[in-house]
Amino acid sequence: MRKKTALITGGASGIGKQTAIQLAEKGYQLAINYRNSESEAVSLARQLTDSFGTKIITVQGDVANYDDCYRMVEETLSAFTAVDILVHNAGPYIHERKKLTDYTLEEWNYLIQGNLSAVFYLSKLIIPLMRKQQWGRIITLGYDRVETAPGWVYRSAFAAAKTGLASLTRTLAIEEAVHGITANMVCPGDIINEWKEKNIEESIAAFEGTVPVGRQGTGEDIARVIAFLTDEKSDFITGSIIPVTGGIDVLGKAFKNGDSGM
């Protein structure tokens, strides 16, 4: 039986890295995309190959650029026969607090392209391949309550792109269901950078009482949900926006703190 292949954008670090670990453990072949983190991507690929014996390649590219997306898919297909799973984890984010009028045209366009248009680029390239085999999994990442299109002060471009992506994800789910393709969005809670590459065991050991469930969220928490959605028997879950927040009101916290960012 042919092994399935997953393309993970932004897979060299953070939540993308934890996702790569989870999917390699499930036996998937991987194409790990990175923009600048070549050494991290190559090191991760080597580590996962040694641990799980699955074929893994790295593909450089900026998802905000269509030509890069085209090349990434071509390189993946030159190493594997198909792309069965697309995990769109990469997404530019500006930590500086800026009102809409303070964004430059370049910043605005880059955030929209990297968080929204990139999924159009990659889906347009990959979905025809998924249709041929009548099977596919598309998983995007959002933020808490994204499906309600909430306002988010100082994050206008990011929020606009991700709310648009929520609608696009659900549209793909409807359009492609007949072809055995599912599309879902996973929405991480307030997972700070230092915890994006850590696991649940580490989080339990470092008890954090400010989160309702009693511990800090980790990249593994998100990656486990993504891995579940890729499963053969998860085909009944499509068009879903799934919050993984530990019970915390992420946007409410951001507003209360004058927007702490993500």
pLDDT tens-digit series, residues 161-184: 999 999 999 999 999 999 999 999
**Residue 262 forms part of a structural domain:** no
pLDDT band at 246; cut points 50, 70, 90 = confident
Answer whether 0.95 is exceeded by the pTM. Answer: no
Identify the residue whose tokens are 């932004």: 10
**Residue 87 forms part of a structural domain:** yes
The secondary structure of 191-224 as a DSSP string is --GGGTT--HHHHHHS--TTSTTSS---HHHHHH
Q: How far apart (Å, rounded) are the C-alpha atoms in residues 157 and 105?
A: 11
**Residue 38 forms part of a structural domain:** yes
Q: Given a cut of 90, is residue 72 above it in pLDDT?
A: yes
Of 121, 115, 135, 225, the C-alpha closest to 176 is 135
Mean pLDDT, residues 245-254: 74
Q: How far apart (Å, rounded) are the C-alpha atoms in residues 118 and 126?
A: 12
**Residue 108 forms part of a structural domain:** yes
Domain count of the chain?
Answer: 1
What CATH number is given to the structural domain containing 246?
3.40.50.720
30 and 45 Cβ atoms separated by less than 8 Å:
yes
**Residue 128 forms part of a structural domain:** yes
**Residue 191 CB partners (closer than 8 Å, separation 6+):** 15, 216, 217, 218, 219, 221, 222, 262
Domain boundaries, position 16: 5-256
Mean pLDDT, residues 251-261: 60
Using a pLDDT cut of 90, give the percent of the chain over it: 78
